[in-house]
Amino acid sequence: MSEIPAEQTKTNLPTPEITTESSISGVENVKNSLGNFLSSWKLKAGLAVAALFAFLLFAFYWQHIIAVVGMKSWSARSGAKPIECMVRDTNDDQYVSCSSLLDQQIVPLECSASLFNIGCRVNYGTAAPNLRRMNP
């Protein structure tokens, strides 16, 4: 076996040409993998579950959202500071219990949970019958 000197092998080898084919194939690979991900059933199922969860969460807090709008409106008109509303209507009378601070006193409110009746009424609770008896 005869050995070829190192200088001859360097000159006899073809020189690699610099092309953009490798960068184009990299971009194509990214496009293909991204396209595969976007068309996968896992992504579609995940988006469906997320949308269902968002809808259920919105539906659960719907009464609270409407009552807070009414409480803030009532508080702005009366000069009170809104405090907070309960999350749900617990006795199914279409009103959510809320409270505001007026002249350093907490005012119990019942704010509507209906979009067609945004507003609040003052809830005197069990004190109302006693007030009527005291003032004939």
pLDDT per position as a tens digit, 42-62:
888 999 999 999 999 999 999
Q: Do 111 and 70 contact (CB within 8 A), yes or no? A: yes
Q: What is the CA radius of gyration of the chain?
A: 36
DSSP E strands: which ranges in the chain? 81-85, 95-102, 105-112, 120-122
Predicted TM-score (pTM) of the model is 0.61
Tokens of 59: 């539906």
Q: Do 66 and 59 contact (CB within 8 A), yes or no? A: no
What per-residue confidence (pLDDT) applies to 135? 44
Provide the percentage of residues in the chain whose pLDDT is more than 70: 74
Looking from the CA of 96 toward its CB, the CA atoms found within 13 Å total: 25
pLDDT per position as a tens digit, 8-25:
555 555 555 555 555 567
What per-residue confidence (pLDDT) applies to 31? 77
pLDDT per position as a tens digit, 98-122:
999 988 889 999 999 988 988 899 9
What per-residue confidence (pLDDT) applies to 98? 93
Q: What share of the chain is helix, strand, coil (3-state, %, to 5)?
A: 50, 20, 30
What per-residue confidence (pLDDT) applies to 16? 56
